Amino acid sequence: MRQDIEQQEPQLHGDSAAVVYSEAELDNSSADKKKSFTTIQHQEQSCPETCSQTCPQDSLHDKNSSSTFQEQTNQQFEPEVDPDLEPELDSFQASNRMDYDSALNSIISARNNQNHQNNNNNNNSKFNSSDDSEKTCNESPAVSFYERFIVGDVVKNFSPAYFVSVMGTGISSSLLYHFPFPAQWLIDISYIMFAICCLLFIFNVALFTMACIYFPGRWRLYHVDPQHASFMGAFSMGYITIVNYISILTKGHHMYLVWTLWWIAVFTAMYTSFIIVYFAFFSKLNKVELDAKLNATLLLPIVAITVVSSLGHQIELDLYKQNETIITMVVSFMLWCLSISLAFMIMTLYVGRLIMHKIPPTNLIFTSFLPVGFLGQSSYSIYLFGMHLDKYIPQELLFGKILLCIGGFFATFLLSFGYFMTFVALVSIFSKIWPFARTPNPNHTNKLGLLKHNKGFWAMTFPMGTMSLGNLNLGKGAVGNHPLRAFTYMSAIFAVACILVTTACLIGCVVYSVGKIREEVKYFWSKKRRNNECCKEDGCMV
């Protein structure tokens, strides 16, 4: 404000000089009065800020009082002018007085605004200082535990990527039940793993619903933003793994229930692969660039179709009617064809991304396993289709054996590609840790140079489980009725790795959750203790 006053004051001095120059042409009889008039003008216009307390203008606090003082001054010191020069002088003084009045009023109003603002700040500071003493004593949580921790932390930080935990525990329970080298104690453990899977699914669905309710923009984000929409496929696959284990438990009974659940799974898979893929990647609803950010998470909505296809082939022979079996076979095969066509297009882009931008960064390095999941599940699905066609078609026809061989060829092709992508994923991970990494990322590695436990570890579970299923089917040797023990051992290796990583991730989730709860409890008790101490000092009631 001082700068504005200093910029306006030279203009006022210039105007007063013009008044002195024009009044010099008046009669000499009024020279004394003119001199006194110009002197008063200079005093009014060039009044410094240091004399704001004694200056009449600075003692005025509103626009009306300043204008009244100006009129009295002008009437008292009005000069006598020559009648010949009176018209010209009247017009000049009128314009000059208007500029002076407007400038003076603007300066006074600006000063009044600053004084009013300073008074408000002083009052607010006094009010806040008085309130601080009350807050220190009567401080209580502004929001409840539910609003602060559940909604403000857990629900707010929710992401569809959390459904990957349902995928990992679901496929681990199936592998424990159908382990390549079965045992009863493994089946018992599978029950526990399946219970954990169901709890995680219910918990994540509840968080997903609450996130969409408390944060309405999340629904659009989960459908439009590629970084979030891709993980909606994890929701579908997590649900499919639950239906898969239910079909294992029923053992051919209650198939209408299982078939109904399968159709729901088909809907969820189609929703993610059609609706979400279109809005997230094809539509113009977002301007997200996917060039260097392109990673294997784009496969998640597509892999869901492959998983529901393999589930359909798994239950088709247990259905009660022939028409139901044929419909399930055809729909499952169409889903497999759709997933193959879409996934290989994305795989081409992904490999091109690896060639141009090299392996993903450390925080996304575990996404390298996602192509492995698609290849293993596709191999498992097409091999089941060939085996079931051979069983369903009359044995006297060679057409069933031909389809079995074709299915075996496609399954072997996809499984071999899966081995290559497994190698790429493992080498990429080893390149980020000691002693292979030249400059390990300190944000994601510990003192030993190994990767810190994070949510990305869940990305390894489902792909290794699908590779185990693919190897397990080939190891049975349906083609030629000759078991291939090497694939059975490889299936066991992948299954053990999947189960161990899933268990480690579950332990990590428990440790992280306990830490968050301890922080919340510590925060609550520290605030309560502080309030009690303040109340004791002030003698107030707790």
Torsion region of 277: left, alpha or beta (phi above 0 gives left; psi -120 to 50 gives alpha): alpha
The model's confidence at residue 38, banded by pLDDT at 50, 70 and 90, is: very low
> Which of these, 536, 338, 378, 364, lies nearest to 467 by C-alpha position?
378
Q: How far apart are CA 204 and CA 191, in angstroms?
A: 20
Pairwise CA distance, residues 375 & 415, whole Å: 6
Domains in the chain: ranges and CATH: 2-122 (no CATH), 147-517 (1.50.10.150)
pLDDT at 474 over 70: yes
Strand, coil or helix: 445? strand
The pair phi, psi for residue 451, each rounded to 5°, is -70, 135
95 — pLDDT class (breaks 50, 70, 90): very low
Looking at residue 183, its amino acid is A
Residue 407 near residue 382, CB atoms below 8 Å: yes
More confident residue, 142 or 371: 371
Confidence band, pLDDT 50/70/90 cuts, at residue 266: very high
Q: What is the pTM of this model?
A: 0.71
Q: What are phi and psi of 314, to 5 degrees?
A: -70, -30
With 50 as the cut, is the pLDDT of residue 129 above it? Answer: no
Q: Is the pLDDT of residue 532 over 50?
A: yes
DSSP state of 47: -
- The pLDDT tens digits of the residues spanning 157-209 come to 899 999 999 999 999 999 999 999 999 999 999 999 999 999 999 999 999 99
pLDDT band at 213 (very low <50, low <70, confident <90, very high): very high
- Cα atoms found within 13 Å of the Cα of residue 200, Cβ hemisphere only: 28
What is d(CA 512, CA 457) in angstroms, rounded to the nearest whole number?
Answer: 14
- Percent of the chain scoring above 90 in pLDDT: 37
d(CA 308, CA 171): 13
Q: Rounded distance, CA 421 to CA 375, Å?
A: 9
**Tokens for 247?**
């079909």
- The whole-chain average pLDDT of the chain stands at 76
CA distance 190 to 184: 10
Residue 450: predicted pLDDT:
83
Mean pLDDT, residues 388-417:
88
Does the pLDDT value for residue 88 go beyond 60?
no
For residue 3, the model assigns a pLDDT of 43
Identify the band that residue 465 occupies on the pLDDT scale cut at 50, 70 and 90.
very high
